[in-house]
Chain A
Amino acid sequence: AQSVAQPEDQVNVAEGNPLTVKCTYSVSGNPYLFWYVQYPNRGLQFLLKYITGDNLVKGSYGFEAEFNKSQTSFHLKKPSALVSDSALYFCAVRRPDSWGKLQFGAGTQVVVTP
C-alpha cells in the first residue's frame, strides 16, 4: 500500500519569507514523489518530481523539494514566497511498479500575505 500525509491544512507566510510545505510518505520500495499546485477553479499543475539521483529537486516557479529517505519526507520549499504562490499544494507518491497510479495527499492551502 502507498500513502502520503500532508500534516498542515494551511500554511501562512508573509511575502518575501521562506515557504515550506511538508509531506511524508509510506510506500514499499523506492518511491516516486511529486508536487502539484492547484489555483482556484483550475486543474492541478505539475511542479516537480523525484525519481532518483540528487535529493534536492528543482521545479517550476522557483520551487524545490528535498527527498529524505530516512525521514520518508519530501518537503516543498521556496526561498522567498510571492502573493501569487497562494494556492492549494498536493504531494503525491507512487510505487515504481504501479505506473500512473498516484496517491495524492489531502492538500495544503498556502496563503501568502503582502
Chain B
Amino acid sequence: DAGVIQSPRHEVTEMGQEVTLRCKPISGHDYLFWYRQTMMRGLELLIYFNNNVPIDDSGMPEDRFSAKMPNASFSTLKIQPSEPRDSAVYFCASSLRGQITDTQYFGPGTRLTVL
C-alpha cells in the first residue's frame, strides 16, 4: 500500500489567495483526520470524517477553513482567504476502526507558507 498521500508537499501563496490541500487515505480506511502543526500550538486536530461524513469539526479555526470528503478515497482542506497565520504543516491521517487499536497513519504533510 502506498500509504496516505498528500498533495502538494509544499505550497507558497500570497495572503488572500485560496489554498486547497488534498489527501488520499489508505484504501479501506473509514476514518480520515486533518491536523495542523505549528511551533506555537503543536499538533492540532482540525476535523475528522467517518465514512465520508464529518464527525467533529470543532478544531477548525474559523469560517475561512472548510473540509470535504466527496468519496472514500479523497478529501480536501480549503482555506479561503488565506492569511500569514495559516502558515503551518498540515497533515492528513487515516485509520480503520475495525482494528480496535485505531492506529492513525499519517501522510507526509503539506507545508503551507502564506506571504
Beta-carbon contacts of B25-60 to A below 8 Å, as 1s and 0s?
000000101000000001101001010000110000
> Which B residues are in CB contact (< 8 Å) with A101?
45, 48, 56
Q: Does B64 contact A (CB under 8 A)?
A: no
| Residue from A34, A100, A104, A107 whose CB has the most chain B CB atoms within 10 Å | A100
> Which B residues are in CB contact (< 8 Å) with A107?
42-43
The interface on chain A, measured as residues whose beta carbon lies within 8 A of the other chain's beta carbons, has a size of: 21
The interface on chain B, measured as residues whose beta carbon lies within 8 A of the other chain's beta carbons, has a size of: 24
Beta-carbon contacts of A42-66 to B below 8 Å, as 1s and 0s?
1111100101000000000000000
Show 23 residue pairs from A and B whose CB-CB distance is below 8 angstroms, ordered by the A residue: A41-B108, A41-B109, A42-B108, A42-B109, A43-B4, A43-B93, A43-B106, A44-B93, A44-B104, A51-B100, A51-B101, A94-B102, A99-B97, A99-B102, A100-B31, A100-B97, A100-B104, A101-B48, A102-B104, A104-B42, A104-B43, A105-B42, A106-B42
Given contacts A49-B103, A99-B102, 6 further A-B contacts (CB under 8 A): A43-B106, A44-B106, A46-B105, A100-B33, A100-B55, A107-B42
**Residues of A with Cβ closer than 8 Å to B?**
32, 34, 36, 41-46, 49, 51, 90, 94, 99-102, 104-107
